[in-house]
Amino acid sequence: HVQLVESGGGSVEVGGSLTLSCVASGDTIGRYCLGWIRQAPGKEHEGVASINSDGSIGYADSVKGRFTISKDNGENILYLQMNTLKPEDTALYYCAADRVKVLAVENWLKWKTHTYRGQGTQVTV
């Protein structure tokens, strides 16, 4: 069983930056497809960024060029560097994990459910 704990959220001005972290325990994240999803009040959740077990990366069009996903397999930490933040980025951000290697990492962004998900960290712009 994998546990995911996010941190790094907060309030930031338009154009500002934040870095989210997700610490995983219970298994080695290198075996997983990982990513960040967000949910704003009254909206469906949106897959934001994903990183496959082979290191391939996918982004939602809404964040391409502004967000960067990365991971440290040794430390079992997933990151999301968010730059040039906009009011529409305001949401509860979750990290999620599935012990699969997806054929196209962008497809993970469209999944409605995930095997493991953290409790979330709030980002307000």
The predicted structure's pLDDT at residue 15 = 98
Q: What are the phi and psi torsion angles at 95 (to 5°)?
A: -100, 150
Residue 120 has pLDDT above 90, yes or no: yes
Q: Which residue has the tokens 């939602």?
A: 60
Q: Specify the residue for token string 């930031």.
A: 12
Supply the pLDDT for residue 102.
Answer: 85
Alpha-carbon dihedral sign for residues 123, 98, 22, 66 = negative
Q: Report residue 78's pLDDT band, with 50, 70 and 90 as the boundaries.
A: very high
Report whether pLDDT(104) > 90: no
Q: Is the confidence at residue 45, as pLDDT, over 90?
A: yes
Residue type, 88: E
Quote the CA–CA distance of 44 and 112 in Å, as a whole number. 10
